[in-house]
Amino acid sequence: MIRTRFRPIAVAIAAAATVLSLSGTAAASGATTASEVSGATSARAATPVPTGKAALTRNPIYKTGQFDFTECKELDRRPDDVESYKIYLDHLLDCLNLSWAEEFRQAGLSFAKPKVRFITSAVKTGCGKYPAPYAAGIYCQADKTMWILIYKQQLADPSEFELFQVIAHEYGHYVQDRVGILRATDKLAPHFGTAKFYSLNRRVELQAECFSGAFIGSIWHSLGRDQFDWDDLLDYKYGDKWHGTRKSIVYWLKRGWNGNGPSVCDTFTAPASKVA
List residues near Zn ion by CB under 5 A.
Answer: 3-5, 205, 208
Judged by beta carbon, residue 3 or residue 202, the one nearer Zn ion is 3
* In the complex, least distance from residue 33 CB atom to Zn ion, rounded to whole angstroms: 24
Closest separation in Å from C-beta 5 to Zn ion: 4
Q: Which of 45, 206 has the CB closer to Zn ion? A: 206
Q: How far is the CB of 4 from Zn ion (least distance, A)?
A: 5
C-alpha count within 13 angstroms, C-beta hemisphere, residue 187: 17
Nearer Cβ to Zn ion (36/151): 151
Nearer to Zn ion, 107 or 206 (CB): 206
> CB of residue 175 vs Zn ion: minimum separation in angstroms?
12
Half-sphere exposure of 54 (CA within 13 A, CB side): 6
Nearer to Zn ion, 150 or 167 (CB): 167
Shortest distance in whole angstroms from residue 174 CB to Zn ion = 11
Separation of alpha carbons 5 and 211, rounded Å: 13
